[in-house]
Structure 1
């Protein structure tokens, strides 16, 4: 099978602080017009907003991993498809953060090879936990589980978890920004 990394189901969350550039320009103008301390106040609020945003993204990632794992464990492999759950897919749901930390992509990184190894260990009465490895020329089976294939029906777990977490996060982000502005 060909590498299907680009097809992996992903749940993305991002915080954009681009509006602060406009506010920075306004604060500089206010400072130039004699409003002493306007720029310093902007810098304090921007720093708090950035800190709260980083914490928000980390929490969003943790919530998404948790919810995706719950859905995956409840529904995946309980159909008549013959799929035997090993916990490999569930344990592979991983947050990948951007360089600045204001964006996260949560993705299941289990490969068919790792799942087969886990099945063999399970048959022998041993348990093996997911450990991410190099991903050259491998098949990520989260794609098959989420979207289905010719041998199995789709059992989405990333899309429903992302939708559930996104609803929860809407109110939380607004509160995080209020805390940043109000100190």
Structure 2
């Protein structure tokens, strides 16, 4: 079985700093016209915007993880499918941040092997399931979040990532505007 990591359902949030390039050009032009601190003021504002954006992305990721976990626990495994929840999928919903901190991809990382280990652990009476927060490096691994989200021939789809992402993103636009307003005051 080939690794299906790329087919996993994911919710992505990012902040583009592209408009700041226009502001940099204006600041450069103003500096050339005799306003020497225009570039310095721009740089300070740009750094504040980047810092606020990174915090915003971290908070958005945390909100998405919480919402996806809540939806997964409420609805996944409660249908007539053969899926038996172990908590592994819910606990594996993980944010993966870009190197610059301005983009995040929230993805469930539980594999069928992880779920089987969890079932065995539960059978032995343990209540705590190992948290998964990194993709498997194995070539032959099956991430079952895609089967739950999109369904299979044998299993009805039980989406939890898309609805959680839609709910979180509905709140984020106004929050981002407010975040930038406060950062640049």
Q: Tell me the distance in 2 between the aligned counterparts of 1:113 and 1:79.
A: 22
Q: Which residue of 2 aligns with 1:60?
A: 60
Structure 1: runs of 5+ lacking an equivalent:
none
Q: Which residue of 1 aligns with 2:149?
A: 146
The answer as to whether partners of 1:95 and 1:105 remain within 8 angstroms in 2 is yes
Residue 72 to residue 143, structure 1, CA distance change in 2 (3 Å): same
How does the TM-score come out when normalised to structure 2?
0.94
Q: Tell me the distance in 2 between the aligned counterparts of 1:176 and 1:137.
A: 43
Equivalent positions of 1:3-18 (< 5 A) are 3-18=3-18
Structure 2 residue 28 is the aligned partner of structure 1 residue 28 = yes
Structure 2 residue 183 is the aligned partner of structure 1 residue 180 = yes
Structure 2 residue 167 is the aligned partner of structure 1 residue 170 = no
How does the TM-score come out when normalised to structure 1?
0.95
Distance apart, 1:136 and its partner CA:
2.5
Q: Which residue of 2 aligns with 1:155?
A: 158
The answer as to whether partners of 1:87 and 1:129 remain within 8 angstroms in 2 is no
Structure 2 residue 45 is the aligned partner of structure 1 residue 42 = no
Distance apart, 1:78 and its partner CA:
0.9
Distance apart, 1:31 and its partner CA:
1.2
Cα deviation per residue 1:106-146 (whole Å; 9 max; x = unaligned)?
00000001001101111221132223443432000000000
Q: CA RMSD in A?
A: 1.1
The DSSP-based 3-state class of the residue aligned with 1:156 is coil
Of residues 129-138 and 161-170 in structure 1, the stretch that sits farther from structure 2 once superposed is 129-138
Q: Tell me the distance in 2 between the aligned counterparts of 1:79 and 1:108.
A: 20
The count of corresponding residues between Structure 1 and Structure 2 is: 182
Distance apart, 1:85 and its partner CA:
0.8
Structure 2: runs of 5+ lacking an equivalent:
none
Q: Tell me the distance in 2 between the aligned counterparts of 1:113 and 1:176.
A: 41
Distance apart, 1:11 and its partner CA:
0.3
Q: Which residue of 1 aligns with 2:118?
A: 118
The answer as to whether partners of 1:98 and 1:104 remain within 8 angstroms in 2 is yes
Cα deviation per residue 1:134-174 (whole Å; 9 max; x = unaligned)?
34320000000000001110000000000000011111100
The DSSP-based 3-state class of the residue aligned with 2:184 is helix
